[in-house]
A and B are shown apart, each in its own frame.
Chain A
């Protein structure tokens, strides 16, 4: 099972790497958005899947990354790659104090608190005159989508590698323990605050870096575009569908969802939202843990474990 999964994953990755050589226009844009969403899903998976702190506001870090990068490129004329790196660092730097404050909340309070926090960040960022005060920020047209695509793919692959590491590490075990029962984990020696903040920081770094790329992709950034609820929700759904707290969940969920989304949009544009929502509910009831755990359970039963 493991070898099969790894082979499929490798194949998918190779295809993704080769994509720009064969695709352009709409198909390329779509591939880029898919990879971006999967990357976001991986970032989300760390704080929400592994640590169990469901967040509805990770988009705040995406937006911060986008704006930080946008400002460096537009106003200070930086080359976009280091600017995007700074975008990621800025998001992470924001996350650490924010985490100390917000991670004291639990369950739905944290989820909605993060939602509120994201809205606040959006309002505050766009109130700064330098960012064009909501009327948008123009970036010089870049090197075309290829550079941004590879940046995004690299971050996404990095996120997958990070997740693989977390899965097998002591850090990952501690996170999962605190997800199951935080108080018990603490009485078993887990430094819960430190673990949570680290997870939160990683879950901010990834969208921050991705946001940097997105700024270049759009070349014109405005608040609603980069603090996009739609992107946020899309990545959340991918992670949940695929399997929260697993290594391959976000990838599988991402690929499946993109296909479903494309088909639905093409054939039923008027009732797209309805079907999408309905499908989500149906899938959740049928596979409450997501696709990957369901498949893993099937294999485990076949082996007669």
Chain B
């Protein structure tokens, strides 16, 4: 088997007295959709912060496309091909929707004109073309979520880190987002989706699942195996998986 695109190896992070991540490892392959699930506070966002270079782990290493990236500045990691969205959306409020996306597009474009053109294409692709020249602060939450993804796509990433990208969406919108992630996967873009609930979709679209609880990896496997894993069920306080969402 070829080398994984992303390899997180024994990463640990502590804040003050709290161990946010303990010895967490996982792998993502090209084009794979990995669901990172766990209750709130399990460490999903912290892991994303480590991978994207925003946070330096106390221990462990992260390899992306064969290179060790711990200690790299966030912009360098972004240029290398890792893009992320934020759980609480953070648009560049006073910039237009196109400009929001153009920032990322600058990495691959040769001029700002080209960056804006590329950005427009992506804005259309995510269905925000009517708002293209409006300030991002004028968008609704759902639209902002799409903008988050659009900005990430502008980097032409090989790996997308999606942090709670479903939160706050209606069921129809969630299905739409799930389809979207599947389409990206078909194009060879891998994704790690951090999700707290909405298990039904998780089961449907992910190739593999890693379960975090209180900073530790407690299970890993394909959807069917995870559903049956007693440790996972216990972590979610006995809530049945794949039903009732």
Q: Do these two chains interact?
A: yes
- Contact surface of A with B, Cβ cutoff 8 Å: 168-170, 173-174, 176-177, 180-181, 183-192
| Alpha-carbon distance between A192 and B112 when the two chains are bound, in angstroms | 17
Q: Which residues of A contact B104 (CB under 8 A)?
A: 188-189
| Alpha-carbon distance between A188 and B90 when the two chains are bound, in angstroms | 12
- Decide: A173 and B112 in contact? CB cutoff 8 A: yes
Query: How close is A145's CB to chain B, nearest CB, in angstroms?
Result: 41
Closest 7 CB pairs of A and B: A180-B92, A186-B74, A189-B107, A189-B78, A170-B112, A188-B104, A177-B103
- Contact surface of B with A, Cβ cutoff 8 Å: 52-54, 73-75, 77-79, 83-84, 86, 90, 92-95, 99, 102-104, 106-107, 111-112, 115, 151-152, 154-155
Query: How close is B120's CB to chain A, nearest CB, in angstroms?
Result: 14
Q: Which residues of B contact A168 (CB under 8 A)?
A: 112
Query: How close is B156's CB to chain A, nearest CB, in angstroms?
Result: 10
Residue of B nearest to A193 (CB): B73
Residue of A nearest to B155 (CB): A189
Q: Which residues of B contact A176 (CB under 8 A)?
A: 92, 94-95, 99
| Alpha-carbon distance between A184 and B86 when the two chains are bound, in angstroms | 9
- Decide: B103 and A173 in contact? CB cutoff 8 A: yes
Residue of B nearest to A186 (CB): B74
Number of A-B contacts (CB under 8 A): 74
- Decide: A187 and B74 in contact? CB cutoff 8 A: yes
Give which listed residue, B83, B84, B95, B112, contacts A177 with CB less than 8 A: B95
Given known contacts A177-B92, A180-B94, A184-B86, is B111 in contact with A191 (CB within 8 Å)? Answer: no
Q: Could you show 13 A-B contacts with beta carbons less than 8 Å apart?
A: A169-B112, A174-B103, A177-B92, A177-B103, A180-B93, A180-B94, A180-B95, A181-B90, A181-B92, A186-B78, A187-B75, A188-B151, A189-B106
Q: Which residues of B contact A186 (CB under 8 A)?
A: 53-54, 73-75, 78
Query: How close is B16's CB to chain A, nearest CB, in angstroms?
Result: 20
Given known contacts A186-B73, A189-B75, is B106 in contact with A174 (CB within 8 Å)? Answer: yes
Residue of A nearest to B73 (CB): A186
| Alpha-carbon distance between A173 and B101 when the two chains are bound, in angstroms | 11
Best-buried of A183, A185, A188 by chain B (most CB within 10 Å): A188
Apart from the given pairs A170-B115, A184-B90, 12 other A-B contacts in the complex at a CB distance below 8 Å:
A173-B103, A173-B106, A174-B103, A174-B106, A177-B103, A180-B92, A183-B74, A184-B86, A184-B92, A187-B52, A188-B75, A190-B106
- Decide: A188 and B103 in contact? CB cutoff 8 A: yes
Give which listed residue, B75, B84, B94, contacts A190 with CB less than 8 A: B75
